[in-house]
């Protein structure tokens, strides 16, 4: 049933875990390239207006049509991708690093520090995440910086809880005990033996976290709490499109599709990585 | 002077605190004392949960004992400073039961065996490499396989890797915590013979933790039987097997399967109410101690 491994190593499908995950990876990579090269790929300036063609539907000149101010929607979706990736990357980086470090220290040392971190996690988990983010941004005022801050505040908790659990488990594994018996110091044990054991789980969480951050940013921007016009964000585009939902549905369809596709892509990729991260499949 | 001397060792694990009501802890190791002589193999047997593994880990301070004394060459290990403990650990090592979880799956086996040398900063890169090759040879592995990962080896081979790691620092005392109970019977003998061979060649002393009495009979000079955290009997191996004194030891010995299809099984069933669990050890014959009344 199982094929012999190819001489050149493992196939992509084995690394990311299944065809759905490969599809997810393709979507994510394409979107990332589009976001990175948006200024060169965009057919038009995302802020340039052609008022004569307001709300014009998709056509040869404007594949996704024009919005209520006569701006090219394709160009704006591409520019919006930059915001989505920026939010995803910043939020996931900040919250995974902060969460992993706090979780690892809490799990490894226990005691009062663990109590403190664990109670903080409990408190933050008691709030619906998005609601807390909305409250924070509402208090601080709508801006991209505040969105990044609010999403990181609710984001680190997941990583901290995950890593704490992994570290608690890893601490008792015999090869960690063996390292202690050999006289290894705490930094060596943590970085050589304990954290690498937790890393696959963090990568999976981070991938799914990208999806979460992107959708949360879209939600906040949709509510007018995130990125402010005229900067294009998928959330603000949806918001603006609502008024024309019936007469010009392309205003909402394309940014909506973009959100759905990218979030699905990250979710498929994350699920695939989770399957592949099974320790039994760790390969040379 | 004995190589290792354990006196009144106690390990109490706290139970979950109830609100306003302190709950007494579980005594996994309850006032355990024994000595291990230089070059000796001392057996520690008992069922799962009897505290034998905890005792072993306490000797190395992988678990901090609650009270008691562990003397290694006369020095109290439990009072050693962190720096001194690091040095002591070069002389006291452990081989684990599970050959799968005892090796880091993300490290090459060469790096696993080299790690103790790296931790203690011994030798140059080239010297350490040579030492690793030497250790591979010592435990009967091909040094050419040093760049493989643990999962590419069988259970018996992995246990040899664990042994090579334990021997890297030239210890004089090795705790073997059920080193073969996770292996196929056909492989067990090979690993046990390797342990005995290494003992002769390297003048090792072993604390051999096991639940398989046949193994213990084969390799240990003296045996202690643990039951619910206490040693209930401690005697030279031959004396223990020929004249067991404690009801628990008798029940344990009667459970050894006899390789004879016609033999009638004659297992004793232990009646815990038939003896006093708190009875102190008493020397019934010279060197033969048992927790039985007069």
Say if A26 falls within a structural domain: yes
- pLDDT, tens only, A57-95: 788 888 888 888 889 999 999 999 999 999 999 999 999
Mean pLDDT lowest among A94-98, A129-133, A165-169, A273-277 = A273-277
Give the per-residue pLDDT at B117: 93
Report pTM: 0.77
Say if A158 falls within a structural domain: yes
Give me chain B's average pLDDT, please: 88
Nearest CA distance, A111 vs chain B (angstrom): 14
CATH number assigned to the domain comprising residue A214: 1.10.3720.10
Interface list for B 69-88 with A (CB within 8 A): 85-87
Mean pLDDT lowest among B24-28, B95-99, B173-177 = B24-28
Cβ separation B101–A279 shorter than 8 A: no
**Average pLDDT for B211-220:** 87
pLDDT at B11 over 80: yes
Residues of A in contact with B62 (CB under 8 A): 177, 180-181
Say if A113 falls within a structural domain: yes
Dihedral of CA atoms A281, A1, B148, A13 in degrees, nearest 10, equals: -50
Nearest CA distance, A50 vs chain B (angstrom): 58
Of B96, B103, B119, the CB nearest to A188: B119
Say if A163 falls within a structural domain: yes
A174 part of contact set with chain B, CB < 8 Å: yes
Nearest CA distance, A185 vs chain B (angstrom): 8
Give the per-residue pLDDT at B268: 76
Give me chain A's average pLDDT, please: 87
Nearest CA distance, B288 vs chain A (angstrom): 32
Which of B271, B268, B236 lies closest to B254 in space, CA to CA?
A: B268
- pLDDT, tens only, B39-69: 899 999 988 888 889 999 999 999 889 999 9
Total domains in chain A come to 1
**Average pLDDT for A161-173:** 90
Using CA coordinates, name the residue in chain A closest to B61.
Answer: A181
**Average pLDDT for A205-212:** 92
**Average pLDDT for B81-106:** 90
CB A216 within 8 A of CB A151: yes
Whether omega before B131 lies within 30 degrees of 0, making that bond cis, reads: no
A2 — pLDDT class (breaks 50, 70, 90): very low
Residues of B in contact with A284 (CB under 8 A): 148-149, 152
Residues of A in contact with B119 (CB under 8 A): 179, 182-185, 188
Share of chain B above pLDDT 90, in %: 49
Say if A3 falls within a structural domain: no
A181 part of contact set with chain B, CB < 8 Å: yes
Give the per-residue pLDDT at B1: 83
Say if A15 falls within a structural domain: no
Of B60, B90, B96, the CB nearest to A174: B96
pLDDT at B199 over 90: yes
A9 — pLDDT class (breaks 50, 70, 90): very low
Give the per-residue pLDDT at B21: 67
B117 part of contact set with chain A, CB < 8 Å: no
Q: Which residue has the tokens 């304990």?
A: A194
Cβ separation A184–B119 shorter than 8 A: yes
Domain extent at residue A176: 22-283
**Average pLDDT for B166-192:** 89
For chain A, the C-alpha Rg in angstroms (whole number) is 22
Say if A9 falls within a structural domain: no
Share of chain A above pLDDT 90, in %: 50
Alpha-carbon distances of A144 from A10, A75, A124, A141, B221, rounded to whole Å: 41, 20, 22, 10, 74
pLDDT at B24 over 80: no
Return the bridge partners of B223, or none.
B43, B235
pLDDT at A280 over 60: no
Give the per-residue pLDDT at A284: 36
A282 part of contact set with chain B, CB < 8 Å: yes
Say if A17 falls within a structural domain: no
Residues shown for chain A: 284
Cβ separation B85–A177 shorter than 8 A: no
A49: left (phi over 0), alpha (psi -120 to 50) or beta: beta
Q: What one-character-per-residue DSSP string does A28-65 give?
A: HHHHHHHHHTHHHH-SS-TT---GGGTT----SSSTT-
ipTM (interface pTM): 0.84
């Amino acid at each position: 049933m199982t094929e012999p491994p190819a001489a050149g190593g493992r196939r992509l499908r084995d690394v990311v875990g299944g065809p759905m995950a490969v599809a997810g990876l393709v979507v994510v990579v394409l979107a990332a390239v589009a976001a990175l090269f948006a200024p060169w790929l965009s057919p038009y300036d995302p802020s340039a207006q052609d008022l004569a063609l307001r709300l014009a539907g998709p056509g040869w000149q404007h594949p996704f049509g024009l919005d209520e101010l006569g701006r090219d929607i394709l160009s704006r979706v591409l520019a919006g991708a930059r915001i989505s990736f920026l939010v995803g990357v910043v939020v996931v980086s900040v919250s995974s690093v902060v969460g992993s470090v706090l979780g690892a220290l809490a799990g490894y040392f226990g005691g009062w520090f663990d109590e403190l971190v664990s109670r903080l996690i409990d408190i933050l988990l008691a709030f619906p995440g998005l609601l807390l983010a909305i409250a924070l941004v509402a208090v601080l005022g709508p801006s991209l910086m505040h969105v990044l801050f609010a999403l990181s505040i609710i984001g680190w908790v997941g990583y901290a809880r995950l890593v704490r659990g992994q570290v608690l488990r890893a601490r008792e594994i015999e090869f960690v005990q063996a390292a202690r018996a050999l006289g290894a110091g705490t930094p060596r044990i943590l970085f050589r033996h304990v954290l690498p054991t937790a890393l696959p789980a963090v990568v999976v969480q981070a991938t799914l976290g990208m999806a979460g951050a992107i959708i949360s940013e879209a939600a906040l921007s949709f509510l007018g709490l995130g990125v402010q016009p005229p900067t294009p964000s998928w959330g603000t585009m949806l918001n603006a499109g609502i008024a024309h939902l019936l007469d010009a549905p392309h205003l909402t369809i394309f940014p909506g599709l973009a959100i759905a596709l990218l979030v699905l892509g990250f979710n498929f990729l994350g699920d695939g990585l989770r399957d592949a991260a099974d320790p039994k499949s760790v390969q040379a | 002077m004995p190589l290792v001397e354990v006196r009144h060792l106690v390990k109490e694990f706290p139970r979950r605190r109830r609100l306003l009501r302190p709950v007494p802890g579980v005594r996994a190791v309850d006032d355990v004392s024994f000595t291990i002589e230089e070059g000796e193999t001392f057996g520690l047997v008992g069922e799962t949960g009897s505290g034998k593994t905890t005792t072993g880990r306490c000797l190395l301070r992988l678990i901090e004992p609650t009270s008691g004394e562990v003397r290694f060459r006369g020095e109290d290990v439990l009072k050693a400073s962190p720096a001194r403990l690091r040095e002591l650990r070069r002389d006291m090592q452990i081989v684990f039961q599970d050959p799968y979880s005892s090796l880091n799956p993300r490290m090459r086996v060469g790096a696993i065996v080299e790690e103790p040398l790296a931790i203690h900063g011994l030798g140059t890169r080239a010297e350490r490499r040579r030492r690793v090759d030497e250790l591979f040879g010592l435990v009967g592995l091909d040094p050419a396989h040093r760049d493989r990962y643990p999962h590419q080896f069988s259970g018996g081979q992995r246990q040899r890797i664990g042994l090579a790691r334990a021997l890297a620092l030239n210890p004089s005392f090795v705790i073997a915590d059920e080193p073969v109970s996770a292996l196929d019977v056909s492989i067990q003998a090979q690993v046990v013979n390797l342990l005995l061979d290494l003992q002769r060649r390297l003048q090792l002393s072993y604390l051999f933790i096991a639940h398989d009495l046949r193994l213990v009979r084969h390799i240990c000079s003296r045996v202690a039987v643990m039951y619910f955290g206490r040693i209930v009997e401690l005697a030279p191996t031959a004396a223990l097997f020929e004249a067991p004194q404690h009801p628990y030891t008798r029940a344990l010995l009667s459970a050894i399967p006899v390789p004879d299809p016609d033999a009638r099984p004659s297992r004793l069933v232990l009646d815990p109410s038939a003896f006093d669990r708190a009875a102190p050890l008493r020397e019934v014959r010279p060197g033969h101690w048992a927790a039985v009344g007069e």
